[in-house]
Amino acid sequence: MSMTSRLPAALLDSPFMRACRREPTTYTPVWLMRQAGRYMESYRRMRARVSFLELCKTPALAAEVTVDAVERLGVDAAIIFADILLILEPMGMQLEFSAGDGPLLHNPLRTAADVERLQEVDAAESLSFVMQAIRATRAALAPNVPLIGFAGAPFTLASYMIEGGSSRQYTRTKQFMYTQPQVWHALMALLARNAAHYLNTQAAAGAQAVQLFDSWVGNLSPADYRTFVLPHSREVIVSTTPGVPVLHFGTGTNALLELMREAGGDVIGVDFRVELDNAWQRLGDVGIQGNLDPAVLVAERPYIRQRVREILRQADGRSGHVFNLGHGILPTTPVDNVRALVDDVHELSTREPS
Ligand code: CP3
């Protein structure tokens, strides 16, 4: 029996799950990357009491933040409150979220020996707080709202491990892959095994779909993506539990879309640097997620509505569109604009059931 057939009908037939399978929906489902975050007053109040890592590691609080965002916004899916970098701790990396500099890895990878020291992760044990948060969230969410689990894709995680934090040019990452290709591939293979196992553990704990975040992969040339990344992203995706849709997301990927499609995924996430209709025309029979520029949400309400209309026009009623931003919500975004966006998407996309 597949995973899907065991899901309650309310979840199985939800607009988001239907769109992941490219089935028709009565309106276009919408959720937003970073829908729970600093732009929300309730989140800032929570963060005044606990650090970001503590929040991620306290299942009751992570579940509260996840569900709170869904209820305030009226979105069609929840995403578990966590971070792509959490898996790096049990792998052996020293992770810190600093207030000023963003994420820091205090023991960045330099040599083959550094990579050999890294651990396989037993997610049920080392990331049990994520699984508990998923179970608590699933129990608290409305029965028709799917919960999305997620993991960082091998390239994006490797870049943090090698650079020691965020980067602009990815010089050290590229130097690593060009000068120590065998070590690079060993690192990527380990990240792929860990990510697949982590995603499947999240699905078993109660996530109905999973998103693979390859946020920074757009910094690579197509040839380098094919050689150094594609086999490993594909390995993650082919190893996921059948029946659990995979959303495969990246930014700056205009030159890589066909290759990302080749790597796999039921839905390909695109950012705002590509036209949605152009992306879909190139990708063919696959779902598309995106792709409003998050900066539009700091503009005025009628303008937001106009931009929603434009994206829906490009999607042209095709089955398999999941409305989202091209990247995460910006911290200065007014919550009322996000709520209005969700309403606009629902209202402007409503169609008769066929
Ligand atoms: O989308 C959601 O609401 C779920 C939660 C979520 C977070 N991070 C919470 C978070 C998800 C899905 C992520 C994924 C993530 N984390 C990515 C991929 C998505 C993307 O944005 O491209 C990346 C690259 C990270 C790494 C990361 N985590 C960075 C670079 C930062 C610092 C930048 C920032 O926005 O503060 C974080 C911290 C982080 N992750 C915060 C949140 C809500 C802010 C923490 C805080 O100060 O409260």
Mutate to test the pocket of ligand 1, among 30, 34, 167 (most ligand atoms within 8 A of CB): 34
Cα–Cα distance, 220 to 250 (Å, whole number): 11
Amino acid at site 176: F
Domain extent listing, the chain: 4-267
- State pTM to two decimals: 0.97
Mutate to test the pocket of ligand 1, among 83, 210, 272, 325 (most ligand atoms within 8 A of CB): 83
Instruction: Tell me what pLDDT residue 6 has.
Output: 83
Ligand 1: centre distance to CA 85 (Å): 9
The DSSP result for 25-49, as a single string, is -SS--B--TT-SSTTSHHHHHHHHH
Instruction: Give, using CA atoms, the residue closest to atom 1 of ligand 1.
Output: 34
The predicted-structure confidence for 30-48, as pLDDT tens digits, reads as follows 999 999 999 999 999 999 9
Ligand 1 atom with minimal separation from the 152 CA: 18
Is pLDDT at 341 greater than 50 in this prediction? yes
Q: Which alpha helices (H) appear in the chain, and where do they start and end?
A: 3-6, 9-12, 15-20, 41-49, 52-57, 59-73, 88-91, 112-116, 123-126, 128-140, 154-163, 171-179, 181-205, 222-224, 230-238, 257-263, 276-283, 301-315, 335-349
Instruction: Give, using CA atoms, the residue closest to atom 32 of ligand 1.
Output: 102
Is pLDDT at 3 greater than 70 in this prediction? no
CB distance 35 to ligand 1 below 6 Å? yes
Cα–Cα distance, 17 to 274 (Å, whole number): 24
Q: For residue 74, name the pLDDT band (cuts at 50, 70, 90).
A: very high
In angstroms, what CA-CA distances link 353 with 11, 181, 344, 350?
18, 52, 19, 9
In angstroms, what CA-CA distances link 199 with 59, 282, 294, 312?
17, 28, 26, 30
Ligand 1 atom with minimal separation from the 102 CA: 32
4-267 fold: TIM Barrel (3.20.20)
Q: For residue 1, name the pLDDT band (cuts at 50, 70, 90).
A: very low
Q: For residue 261, name the pLDDT band (cuts at 50, 70, 90).
A: very high
Cα–Cα distance, 252 to 102 (Å, whole number): 21
Q: Is 141 helix (H, G, I), strand (E, B) or coil?
A: coil
Report how far Cα 148 is from the mean position of its chain's Cα atoms.
8
Q: For residue 354, name the pLDDT band (cuts at 50, 70, 90).
A: low
CB distance 85 to ligand 1 below 6 Å? yes
Instruction: Tell me what pLDDT residue 5 has.
Output: 58
Ligand 1: centre distance to CA 182 (Å): 30
Catalytic residues: 34, 38, 47, 83, 160
Instruction: Give, using CA atoms, the residue closest to atom 48 of ligand 1.
Output: 52
- Buried b / exposed e over 308-336, threshold 16 CB at 10 Å, is beebbebbeebebbbbbbbbbbbeebebe
Is pLDDT at 296 greater than 80 in this prediction? yes
Q: Is 98 helix (H, G, I), strand (E, B) or coil?
A: strand
Task: Tell me the mean pLDDT in the region 229-248.
Answer: 98
**Residue owning tokens 């590229």:** 174
Percent of the chain topping pLDDT 90: 96
Tell me the two tokens of residue 293: 């520029």
Q: For residue 297, name the pLDDT band (cuts at 50, 70, 90).
A: very high
The predicted-structure confidence for 99-120, as pLDDT tens digits, reads as follows 888 999 999 999 999 999 999 9
